[in-house]
Amino acid sequence: MTESYTPPKVWSWEKENGGAWASLNRPIAGATHDKELPVGDHPLQLYSMGTPNGVKVTILLEELLEKGISEAEYDAWLISIGDGDQFGSGFVELNPNSKIPALNDRSGDKPVRVFESAAILMYLAEKFGEFQGAPEKRAELLSWVMWQMGSAPYLGGGFGHFYAYAPYPMEYPIDRFAMEVKRQMDVLDRHLAENQFMLGDDYTIADMAIFPWYGRTAKGQSYDAGEFLSVHEYKNVIRWADEIDARPAVKRGKLVNLSGEGKLPNRHSAADFDGLV
Ligand X SMILES: N[C@@H](CCC(=O)N[C@@H](CS)C(=O)NCC(=O)O)C(=O)O
Binding site for ligand X (CB under 6 A): 24, 51, 53, 81, 86, 98-101, 116-117
**Smallest gap from residue 51 Cβ to ligand X (A):** 4
Q: Considering the complex, what minimum distance in angstroms separates the CB of residue 2 from ligand X?
A: 29
- Least distance from C-beta 148 to ligand X, angstroms? 9
Instruction: Tally Cβ neighbours within 10 Å of residue 128.
Output: 17
Minimum Å gap between C-beta 66 and ligand X is 23
Q: Are strands 44-48 and 102-105 parallel, antiparallel or unpaired?
A: antiparallel
Q: Which of 87/203 has CB closer to ligand X? A: 87
Tell me 254's DSSP state: T
In angstroms, give the least distance from the CB of 61 to ligand X.
15
Nearer to ligand X, 55 or 241 (CB): 55
The nearer residue to ligand X, 8 or 260, going by C-beta atoms, is: 260
Radius of gyration of the chain (CA): 19
CB of 41 to ligand X, least distance (A): 25
For residue 160, the SS3 value is: helix
Closest Cα to residue 86, out of 101, 77, 103, 99? 99
In terms of CB distance, is 103 or 178 closer to ligand X?
103
CB of 90 to ligand X, least distance (A): 15
What b/e readout covers 16-28, taking b as 16+ CB neighbours within 10 angstroms?
eeeeeeeeeeeee
Neighbouring residues of 261: CB distance < 8 A, sequence distance ≥ 6: none
Cα–Cα distance, 196 to 34 (Å, whole number): 47
CB atoms near residue 107 (< 10 Å): 11
From 254, 158, 240, select the one nearest 197 (Cα to Cα): 240
Distance, CA of 102 to CA of 111 (rounded, Å)? 13
Nearer to ligand X, 40 or 156 (CB): 156
Nearer to ligand X, 117 or 132 (CB): 117
Is the CB of 32 or the CB of 196 nearer to ligand X? 32
Task: Tell me the one-letter amino acid at 70.
Answer: S
Query: Exposure string (b/e) for 68-91, b if CB count within 10 Å is 16 or more?
Result: ebeebbbbbbbbebeebbbbbebb
